[in-house]
Structure 1
């Protein structure tokens, strides 16, 4: 990743905010943080799992009940730990931070 962020143009996607990604936030021109409502994420987890189980949405993994439960745990972890940790560590970049809370903000 360090080689990538030293190039002229790059995009990194993910949910990580641990120390190993710190340099990417420092080098970024723009940081887009997707901060949708907790309950909307729950709805989307249920919807995605249902559509994948019915074969109506492609999945890169086998949609198991175990993964379904892990998504709810991840959602809670993100809300209680991941998101506050992100703002605590990387709030210093508020001048280049765009927080998106809904689809409407992208139109």
Structure 2
């Protein structure tokens, strides 16, 4: 089984992917590690070609759960995956999670692979705003994969309900 979990900043991708990975005994891949690598504590971005090469290497290992935001270099994962899960909690909840995560990272309660400074906090809110303006474009990207797409939205009754959305 190959599962691609997608969502915008603070949608719950990493938490959900790690849970499923443990339950299903599948390789967990945080896609930020495909985009960036560290050298002496400095994050260096790989080229799109390098990212695609790493994705092919990951796929060659067999079953996996990968999570990340949408990037053009990840597009091939849409075809590779047996299931695509789009996490789409409400905007207000993501904004609260961004701030909560930032505070936890600054005080050292939560680890992160980047410097949790004010600029990163601003970037996360900026990326969230940008995403909200690009939803229609994402719908178009998903269109060829509707047969394996599951969109997860919050449900007040159980906090996470699976519902298949057809555009």
| TM-score category of the 2 structures, normalised to the smaller one | 0.7 to 0.9
Give TM-score scaled by structure 2 length.
0.54
Q: Distance in 1 between matches of 2:79 and 2:59?
A: 10
- Equivalent residue pairs, number: 104
Superposition pairs for residues 66-85 of structure 1, below 5 Å? Answer: 66-81=119-134, 83-85=135-137
RMSD: 2.1
Structure 2 unpaired stretches of 5+: 1-54, 163-167
Q: Offset of 1:22 from its aligned partner?
A: 2.7
Runs of 4+ in 1 over 4 A off after TM superposition: none
Name stretches of at least 5 consecutive residues in structure 1 with no aligned partner.
none
Q: 1:16 aligns to what?
A: 70
TM norm structure 1 = 0.80
SS at match of 1:12: strand
CA displacement at 1:47 relative to structure 2: 1.0
Query: 1:96 matched to which residue of 2?
Result: 148
* Structure 1: distance between partners of 2:119 and 2:152: 29
CA contact (8 A) 2:152 2:160 kept: no
Structure 2 residue aligned with 1:58: 111
Aligned to 2:23: none
User: Which structure shows the bigger proportion of residues in helix conformation?
Assistant: 1
Instruction: Spell out, residue by residue over 1:26-64, the C-alpha distance to the aligned partner (whole angstroms, 9 max, x if none).
Output: 121100111111111111111111222233323333311
Higher strand residue share: 2
- Ranked by relative contact order (alpha carbons within 8 Å, sequence separation 6 or more), the top structure is 1
CA distance in structure 2 between the partners assigned to 1:68 and 1:40 by the alignment: 15
